[in-house]
Amino acid sequence: MKSDAADAYRARPDSVTLRSNLMPVSMLYASDVPTAAVTGAQATRAPTELAQPAPPNPFNISLYKPNYLIPYSYMTSPDRAVYAGHSPDGEQISHSEVQFQISLKVPVLADIAKTRVSLYGAYTQTSFWQAYNRSAFFRESDYEPEVFLEYSWQRPLPGGWQWQLADLGFVHQSNGQGGTLERSWNRVYLSGTLVRQRWTVYLQAWHAIRGAGLLQHNPDISRYLGYGKWRVTYHRGRQSFSLMSRNNLTSGFSRGAWKLSWSFPLVQKLNGYVQVFSGYGQSLLEYNHRTTAVGVGVAIKNW
Catalytic residues: 172, 174
Q: For the chain, what percentages of helix, strand and coil (3-state, to nearest 5) are there?
A: 10, 50, 40
CA distance 222 to 251: 10
Closest Cα partner for 294 from 276, 269, 267, 271?
Answer: 276
Looking at the DSSP bridge assignments, the partners of residue 229 are 204, 246
CA distance 197 to 51: 15
Buried b (16+ CB within 10 A) or exposed e, 176-192: ebeeeebbbbbbebebb
Max alpha carbon distance in the chain (Å)?
60
Closest Cα partner for 274 from 196, 256, 266?
Answer: 266
CA distance 22 to 301: 18
CA distance 5 to 173: 10
Closest Cα partner for 274 from 10, 72, 131, 77?
Answer: 72
Q: What is the 3-class SS of 163-179, one letter each residue?
A: EEEEEEEEEEEECCCCH
